[in-house]
Amino acid sequence: MCVKTIGEVSALAGVTVRALHHYDERGLLSPSARSEAGYRLYSHSDLERLREILGWRALGFPLDQIRALLDAPGHDRLSALRAQRELVDAELARLGGLARALDRAIAAIEADQETEEDEMFEGLDLDPHQEEARERWGHTSAYADSARRAASLSARQWQEIKAQAQEIEQRFAELKRSGEPADGQAARAAAERARLHIDRWFYPCSGEMHLKLGEMYVADPHFSAHFDELEPGLAKYVRDAIAANAFGTGGRRRI
């Protein structure tokens, strides 16, 4: 078994000794052994764990979330590395779209021309919840798929997406104001439309995934404030409509 000291690991991985001490203290990476003098000794398996940690860090994940990912029941390193690779592909696609947008802007200014307004923001991610979404689901294939799709959308498509989302939210608000029950047919239809909107434009959204989103609308203060600004209590109403749509009128789970 290959055993390395903390200094050797620091030099090999390009991580400071102080950072390795910090990872140990946070429960992220504890060495498998100690020398008779009490010095940390890292095995090959420890180095593999460090590689995964540094991969998540490079993708912007906070240490607490990385620890939760690595220590989750059933954690599989190969699957984790594949998820990291998918996220890198998604980030490359996003940056590619941004690079093209900047190139168009530079070329227009150099040619003393005005950029077409419907192309001006193409390739720019304007989603205010992007960082929050990445923290919650950044390690998943669904997030990587969403990022790839978003990078390929034109400004005109983004306008269509936002208009459809606003129509769905307004429909929910109208139904709540009219007294339509959240488990009624009209509210369930609105919930299904919302699910299909996500499924079409962003990532595969099963009924189970939609249930998780509905719970987040209530639990997350940013989302709940957004919905409740449209209509008081709307976040809970939308959550309940999503649940009714996912389970069906008879309470039987159909997701």
Residues 196 and 239 in one domain: yes
| Residue-level pLDDT at 122 | 67
CATH number for the domain harbouring residue 240:
1.10.490.50
Q: CA-to-CA distance for 2 and 43, rounded, in angstroms?
A: 6
Whether 66 and 82 map to the same domain: the answer is no
Boundary (domain end) residue, out of 93, 118, 149: 149
H-state helical runs in the chain: 6-13, 17-25, 44-58, 63-70, 77-110, 130-137, 141-152, 155-177, 185-201, 207-219, 221-230, 234-247
- Specify the pTM: 0.50
Last residue of a domain, one of 134, 149, 164: 149
Q: CA-CA distance, 93 to 240, in Å (whole number)?
A: 36
DSSP annotation of 115 reads P
Burial class of residue 6 in the structure, from the number of CB atoms within 10 Å of its CB (0-12 exposed, 13-18 middle, 19+ buried): middle
Strands 40-42, 33-34: pairing kind: antiparallel
Whole-number pLDDT of residue 252: 40
pLDDT one-digit tens code per residue, 101-138: 888 888 888 888 887 766 666 666 544 445 555 555 55
Say what the pLDDT of residue 254 is.
Answer: 45
Low-confidence residues of the chain, pLDDT below 70?
1, 117-155, 248-255
246 plus 186 within the same structural domain: yes
User: Do 231 and 164 share a structural domain?
Assistant: yes
The residue out of 99, 118, 149 marking a domain boundary is 149
Range of the domain at 136: 76-149
Euclidean distance between CA atoms 242 and 180, whole angstroms: 14
Give me the pLDDT at residue 121, please.
Answer: 65
- Between CA 43 and CA 128 the distance in angstroms is 42
- How many domains is the chain built from? 3
